Structure 1
């Protein structure tokens, strides 16, 4: 026993020296934080588990990720066995296919029997996957395309599989929904914004619209209820399952305000009511929103038929410049509001931000999409390349817009990976600035800001040349209000959140 203790002590001394060397690679202002992380992490491990991490190269990776993400550090400290399970699984070294993501989510949900279990399993699974995605991104093992895809697939799988489980656990009570002539009625969930485009950011809301096929009643349960009431109950439970903050966190924040009639409208509508709304009341800002609409849960084939019926509303057969003018005027008003409220440092909504790049592409989609099917793509970068191919944008403009988009999205992810917070605001604290600059590949904050400003100036220049025209903004106040919400929150950030948003860290 004394000999074993002596060997352990020697290993401890050797590792302590190695840890000091690894910490010396970081600025002094961050070394104590990283050492504290390590002390808390190592104290939470069993002796056998320590053997899995007592490797200088792995500790080097740990420190690199912890330096940039308190989220990952907390996960390692609070759930060390889960983290080591993730390490051993090999999942840190790979991405998933859509089918694999569905299986990863559905497998642990198969035995779930109630709401409480469902909420717990989903939150544990979501946190594991967010740590995996952050780990790969911060170590340079994945690119922006993989990150956007994986985050979107994770959200899509959580929504789709949760809906199935909620319907299953409620079947004994309410049965299943049928039409009057005995046809089973399907639910359809539409993903809007970045979820619809599979371009979800690291800490994003999911914008959802809930629909169902047809009226009728449920059958084969303890009680029969109207289909509308049934789906209202099901979708309220789905929203709560995903959105509610518990001790284990949340799954995804859910925003349903893009539904017909917005917050004043019913949470869920039948296909007939859905079609009637857009035929009778649909406005230009809603056409803009539906460019990215995609079925993310429920019956995909049924949902795609619904979107096909909506296509003439979104994409007109003629060259539709009227929508361009209407939305351009609204954007001018919003730009003035952003400046007035001091959100210039917001990399999404401010001048030269992510939203302006998306706006350029989507304006052309509304104009050209009725005649050219390839303009109905939900992702922004393929649209920009189409605009170059067809002679609407110069090669230089497209190159700068795409590279700017990728830089801004990467910055967005770095901001949000720190604490899994929904922020687009640049940090003001020196240590936070240092972390962001370093993880973006710059030696200091000044160099990072210089590059960021250069990119945003180019984006703003192209945006103003392409979209904004001389003349004052004009728009119907109610229309402007709805489009302002769309501009600010099509992927979940409402105006008040932005105004009150704390600087990162």
Structure 2
């Protein structure tokens, strides 16, 4: 206990302010347990049972997040969980919070339109980008998201809202549910700037518009970012459809040596920014740091990933292993 408290102000303050969280984790055995696949979804589903309004949804999400963050941090600092488990657990926690929030808010939005949730499930797909997309989220990470919805859903033909209006409102509500600071804190900070046109672009886009943008205007840094894209919430079938539409933009069928100039320019921008901020010794941004390792891995993915499916992975450690297998980097 003292080791954990000495290493984490968050763990210390949480245990002091709300000792019931720690007692609960000890009492039910969760502190010592490796969670099976889907465990966060099951636990959050039980925690949200009986939620009757958005305010209660937000409160229970934040309490659940604090409880599970304490569990993950404790297991990390006590040496009970390896790094890959910690990163996976943080990402799975975020996935479950996003998905449960979207499901609840989507059903509420349908009720307001007098549309049966049994007959229609909103098709909004949430793409996790960056560390979330790669299942490498850390304790301080924002979650980078992109929202998209399928074209041609027949329900809108008889509805008083257009799909653009409906999904824009749903996306805004989802961001508030996760990002808003309340007396219970926030769930996750949400960053939407990786969407087409960044802050000046539409918050949500339909699949065709998204695919058209990337094929006609997508820049090399957007290909670089889209390598990590992973559906984290929304119906499975539209999610697969969206990923199929985006795949040709990211992974070209030929050896894409034309990407070198753009990658070189992107690397130079990163180096200049590091030098400007005097962060050459920074373990994340400096030479030989985390960002440079990621850059090397993703450069190989952009150039050779279309011809080498083994490189079509999101996690940097998996990509490095694949590069060693292919002989592009020493094992």
Provide the C-alpha distance between the structure 2 equivalents of 1:152 and 1:95, rounded to a whole number of angstroms.
15
**Structure 2 residue 110 is the aligned partner of structure 1 residue 208:** no
Corresponding residue number in structure 2 for 1:347: 283
Provide the C-alpha distance between the structure 2 equivalents of 1:177 and 1:371, rounded to a whole number of angstroms.
45
Q: Which has the larger radius of gyration?
A: 1
* Deviation at residue 329 of structure 1 after TM alignment: 2.1
Corresponding residue number in structure 1 for 2:125: 188
Corresponding residue number in structure 2 for 1:430: none
**Structure 2 residue 266 is the aligned partner of structure 1 residue 319:** no
* Deviation at residue 278 of structure 1 after TM alignment: 1.0
- RMSD, matched Cα: 2.1
Count of equivalent residues: 330
Provide the C-alpha distance between the structure 1 equivalents of 2:144 and 2:111, rounded to a whole number of angstroms.
30
Provide the C-alpha distance between the structure 1 equivalents of 2:17 and 2:173, rounded to a whole number of angstroms.
29
Which residue, out of 86, 100, 107, partners 1:147?
A: 86
Provide the C-alpha distance between the structure 1 equivalents of 2:180 and 2:17, rounded to a whole number of angstroms.
21
Unaligned 5+ segments in structure 2 are none
Q: Which digits, 9 at most, give the CA deviation of each residue in 1:462-487, with x for residues without a partner?
A: xxxxxxxxxxxxxxxxxxxxxxxxxx
Which residue, out of 353, 378, 381, partners 2:317?
A: 381
* Deviation at residue 220 of structure 1 after TM alignment: 12
Which residue, out of 172, 193, 198, partners 2:111?
A: 172
Contact kept in structure 1, 2:259 and 2:302, CA below 8 Å: yes
Contact kept in structure 2, 1:218 and 1:225, CA below 8 Å: no
Which residue, out of 1, 5, 12, partners 1:73?
A: 12
Contact kept in structure 2, 1:215 and 1:226, CA below 8 Å: no
Residues 1:317 and 1:107: Cα distance change in structure 2 (over 3 Å): same
- What is the TM-score when the length of structure 2 is the normalising length? 0.94
Alignment map for 1:104-253 (pairs within 5 Å): 104-176=43-115, 186-214=123-151, 224-253=160-189
**Structure 2 residue 190 is the aligned partner of structure 1 residue 254:** yes
Corresponding residue number in structure 1 for 2:230: 294
> SS where residue 83 of structure 1 aligns?
helix
Which residue, out of 34, 54, 63, partners 1:95?
A: 34
Unaligned 5+ segments in structure 1 are 1-61, 396-505
* Deviation at residue 183 of structure 1 after TM alignment: 7.5
Q: Which digits, 9 at most, give the CA deviation of each residue in 1:263-299, with x for residues without a partner?
A: 1110001111111111211111111111111110001
Provide the C-alpha distance between the structure 2 equivalents of 1:127 and 1:270, rounded to a whole number of angstroms.
34
